[in-house]
Amino acid sequence: MLNYLWGFMILIGVAYAAYNGTLPEVTNAAISSSKEAVTLAIAMLGIMSFWTGIMKVAENSGITEAATRKLEPLLRFLFPGIPSGHEANHYIAVNVISNMLGLGWAATPAGLKAMQALSELAEEQGKPKGVASNEMCIFLILNISSLQLIPMNIVAYRSEYGSVTPSAVITLGLLATLASTAAAIVFCKLADRKGR
């Protein structure tokens, strides 16, 4: 659906530019924007690689395992259907920690592994295949709301585009994501209670 929407918007833009005689400006803007996109992608690739590597070092040194143990009470509250010591807890904790540091790219692999582990757990518990369990829904909503202590990607974007104070968004980002995560948890718990 989005492909059709974007295609429609591009066609409308080109048609409007042709009608107004500004087609060369559209071509120049497309070329300069593509150059800027490549430059930004290379800069963000370096940042993503660095923080993904840091998360891998933290995982190999046992820091994420220790953080998983510290997050255990929160995980038990949020995911009561996941048995203690299940591998899904580890992946969920890594995902939550990555999101808290604002590293959405580093959170994605752990999130995918968590969903796979939750899917396997749901099948083991006899739930129908292809139907999302409560734990899967809670994890997805928690992942989307994404509590961020340090919105690293936004700080990096602001720095790349020459912001004088790229870290000025940290407090507002924390407040906004705290509100979205609290709303997500309340919604999930109310929906879970209503479902029972």
Q: So what's the pLDDT on residue 196?
A: 60
| pLDDT classification of 86: cutoffs 50, 70, 90 | confident
User: What digits encode the pLDDT tens for the residues 139-158?
Assistant: 988 888 877 777 777 887 78
Q: So what's the pLDDT on residue 117?
A: 92
Q: From 133, 152, 149, select the one nearest 141 (Cα to Cα).
A: 133
Query: What is the pTM assigned to this prediction?
Result: 0.70
pLDDT over 70, % of the chain: 99
Q: So what's the pLDDT on residue 65?
A: 81
* CB under 8 A, 24+ apart: contacts of 154-158: 154/102, 155/102, 156/43, 156/44, 156/47, 157/40, 157/44
* Section 93-117 average pLDDT: 83
Distance CA 98, CA 146 (A): 9
- Extended strands (E) in 8-147: none
Judge contact between 159 and 40, C-beta under 8 A: no
